Amino acid sequence: MHTPKNVLLVGGSGFIGQQVAHLLVSRGCTVRIPTRRRSRVQSLLTLPTAEVIEANVHDRLTLQNLMEGQDTVINLVGILHSSGGRPYGRDFARAHVALPQAIARTAEAADIKRIVHVSALGAERTAPSEYLRSKADGEAAIRGGSVPWVIMRPSVVFGPGDSFLNLFANLQHLFPVMPLGGAKARMQPVYVGDVAQCIVEALYHVEAINHIYRLCGPHIYTLEQLVKYVGEQIGAIRPILSLPTPLAWLQAAALEFAPGPTLMSRDNLRSLKVDSVCPDDCSLPFGVEATPLESVAPNYLTHKSSRDHYADIRQRARR
């Protein structure tokens, strides 16, 4: 049986990764977390058995050095936007495909005992979006290696600091109406704490080896329902204009070229063509109980001033 001791947490500085890091430390693991900018992850610097290292994980030798002395690798690197291309643009190719390929190869040589790779619900080679196609090829790279693997495919993830419900809260604070592409897209939001718990449990359960797990919350919503719910919670109920496809397309194209952070791209819109829901049994693995959105979201969506919402958007622009 594999008992993780030393874990390389690639992408550990992000929204989900930080929760995973805290859980691993609480389970007695030492955690090595590479990041492009150490100063961004203050909350990890004080963790007793975590080591945050400024490193370029795309460099083969650096990756080898990072894996030295480790027994487990978790990969959470992911991006939402890329320059376009067929089957996907070069940023998606680098972060979602080349990096998992390098991780799989380097892990074999480093005698790593298990890799947990975080993908996304709907990852398919034939998916309509570049994001999902590149995620599918990343999964294939991990599955093609000889190190025992576990793949996690979350639906959209919510929790304090998320870029999803918080984005719609910020927008509704700032604008009087909400023009929405993909309003009828269905999703099954899953709580970040539950996702982190499933990732960590996958390291301890032998039956998890070479399995793909879909991670979904207890309820299905349309995007429009979620935006309306967020508006109600923050006391800024805005009329939602469900945009027909050509208009949604134009809006996304305009947002891609607007200065500042990309709020929505044409590829994001293509991702919304596929429902992000579990087709059958949607219970989480390893006995993890799915947390309802309504029991967590109100706590972190409220209590923000307009100034906080501007600051939020500015901060995301720098990431």
Give the binding-site size for ligand NAP (rule: CB under 6 A).
22
Q: Binding of ligand NAP at residue 79 (CB under 6 A)?
A: yes
First and final C-alpha spacing in the chain: 39
Coil, strand or helix at 53:
strand
Nearer to ligand NAP, 145 or 159 (CB): 159
Q: Which residues contact 56 (CB under 8 A, 6 or more apart)?
A: 36, 62
Residues 50, 284, 278, 179, CA torsion sign:
negative
Residue span 159-198 as binding mask against ligand NAP, x where in contact by CB under 6 A, dash where not: -----x----------------------------------
Q: Are 8 and 67 in contact (CB under 8 A)?
A: yes
Report the residue from 15, 92, 213, 221 that binds ligand NAP according to the rule CB under 6 A: 15
Task: Provide the residue count of the chain.
Answer: 319
Q: Binding of ligand NAP at residue 134 (CB under 6 A)?
A: no
Residue span 18-57 as binding mask against ligand NAP, x where in contact by CB under 6 A, dash where not: -----------------xxx--x----------------x
To ligand NAP, the closest distance from the beta carbon of 7 in angstroms equals 14
Nearer to ligand NAP, 215 or 234 (CB): 215
Q: Are 198 and 284 in contact (CB under 8 A)?
A: yes
Q: Are 195 and 285 in contact (CB under 8 A)?
A: no
To ligand NAP, the closest distance from the beta carbon of 162 in angstroms equals 7
Nearer to ligand NAP, 31 or 156 (CB): 156
Q: Whose CA is closest to 32, among 19, 14, 13, 16?
A: 13
Q: Binding of ligand NAP at residue 268 (CB under 6 A)?
A: no
Phi, psi (rounded to 5 degrees) for 231? -60, -45
Beta-bridged to residue 50, according to DSSP, are: 31
Give how far the C-alpha of residue 270 lies from the chain's centroid of Cα atoms, to the nearest Å: 17
Report the residue from 8, 13, 233, 255 that binds ligand NAP according to the rule CB under 6 A: 13
Chain contacts with ligand NAP (rule: CB under 6 A): 11, 13-17, 35-37, 40, 57, 76-79, 95, 118, 120, 154, 156-157, 164
